Amino acid sequence: TRQAVEQIALARLAEEEVTVDSTITDAELRERFAAEMPGARATASQILLAFPPSATGSQRDSVRRHAGGLRDRAASGEDFAALARQYSSDPGSARFGGSMGTFPRGQMLPEVDQAVFSLGVGEVSEPVESEIGVHVLRVDGLEIPDFDEMGEQFRTRIVEQRRLDAEEAYLNGLAGELALTLEPNALEVARALARNPGARLGRRALDRPLATFQGGAYTVGDFEPLVRSGNPALLQALAAGPDSAVLTLLEDLSKQTMLVRRAESLGLGATPAEVDSIAGEARELVRDLAREIGLFPAPESPGGSEDAVTLALERVVAGEQEIIPLAGITFLLRAREEWSIRSEALGATLTRARQLEAGTG
């Protein structure tokens, strides 16, 4: 519910404060289409001569000369596949005569991508140098979509990219204007929370800032729901991942909080009616999930309701029945040495579920 409310605020803020130039002339569109070839696919082969580890300048020059000689041999008609099998450093493609298969624009190394999609079918490239070595490339096939087929889709993509660029520029500008700053111990605190996601925190701890900005802060209380989600991969990444990755995540989360506060200060937050509507949708989701695990059995027999609830919850916790929104919780429960359903709580749970079903909760 909180995320949905925040998304309303963020969408309104973007509409109010971010300006996007959506005008693209047909001439500009055709020029970019010809240059970027969106949707194009190529079938190509390569001979890769890799640079030795920590290669010296003379070693790199030797690799370049060798690649130039192989390129001349291939261009003069020698069997490209045989040359690739004999000389290529890429075992994955060498065993298939250098074939890299068919791939879309933008999938390969930038230097390789640029060279391949500038060649015609059957052409052999000049040696192309990348960070890993020198490539000799041959294009075996090209599929280029027609402008009339892809033009409008490409126009939409350009406008969307402009929107993303404008939003990023606005966000970075606002972060500078409001002096967004991570606290010196933010990384240490985030890792500690990830290593102990079940820790009970007092109000002072929850109010502790991980980042500050003019007029607000991103706090431990804002971060805590993320670690309490119980996502094992996320917790592992937070606890032991690279410092740079965790700091980037904290900065991004802090920026989102900053944006929400900005939207609220401008009166762009969700209205009470919208909050009520979102809460109603959440209750509907709860009811749907409750039906899925049998919280509303039919027909009902004396004592049957609590038996059905027990069985359904045990199946979920044991992993025999999957309910996606509870996946993180059930994983943590199964990871503990022992677990059981608390029978004394079933009555209250069932009563609450029925209140939701009746719309009185």
Does 299 sit behind a cis peptide bond, omega within 30 degrees of 0 on the bond before it? yes
**Exposure on the CB side of residue 348, measured as CA atoms within 13 A:** 4
Same-domain check for residues 254 and 168: yes
Residue 239 lies in a domain: yes
Residue 248's pLDDT is 92
Tell me how many domains the chain contains. 3
For 278-313, how does the pLDDT look when each residue is reduced to its tens digit (9 = 90+)? 778 777 776 776 666 555 554 444 555 445 544 554
Same-domain check for residues 135 and 117: yes
Same-domain check for residues 136 and 277: no
Same-domain check for residues 252 and 328: no
Residues of the chain by 3-state class (helix, strand, coil), percent to 5: 60, 10, 30
Same-domain check for residues 266 and 277: no
For 255-285, how does the pLDDT look when each residue is reduced to its tens digit (9 = 90+)? 999 999 999 999 988 888 888 887 787 777 7
Contact 49, 67 (CB under 8 A): yes
- Domain span holding position 138: 40-143
For 224-249, how does the pLDDT look when each residue is reduced to its tens digit (9 = 90+)? 988 888 788 888 999 999 999 999 99
In this structure, what token pair is assigned to residue 153? 């889709």
Go through the chain and tell me how many residues it has.
Answer: 361
Share of the chain above pLDDT 70, in %: 79
Same-domain check for residues 285 and 295: yes
- The residue assigned the tokens 């709580």 is 345
Residue 154 lies in a domain: no
Q: Which CATH number covers residue 91? A: 3.10.50.40
In this structure, what token pair is assigned to residue 216? 């607000």
Residue 159 lies in a domain: no
Q: What is the mean pLDDT of residues 113-131?
A: 95
For 325-343, how does the pLDDT look when each residue is reduced to its tens digit (9 = 90+)? 333 223 223 333 334 334 3
Contact 128, 135 (CB under 8 A): yes
Of 270, 292, 316, the residue at which a domain comes to its end is 270
**What Cα–Cα distance (Å) separates residue 333 from each residue in 173, 242, 294?**
44, 28, 20
pTM of the model: 0.58
Same-domain check for residues 44 and 139: yes
Contact 210, 219 (CB under 8 A): yes
Residue 308's pLDDT is 52
The whole-chain average pLDDT of the chain stands at 82
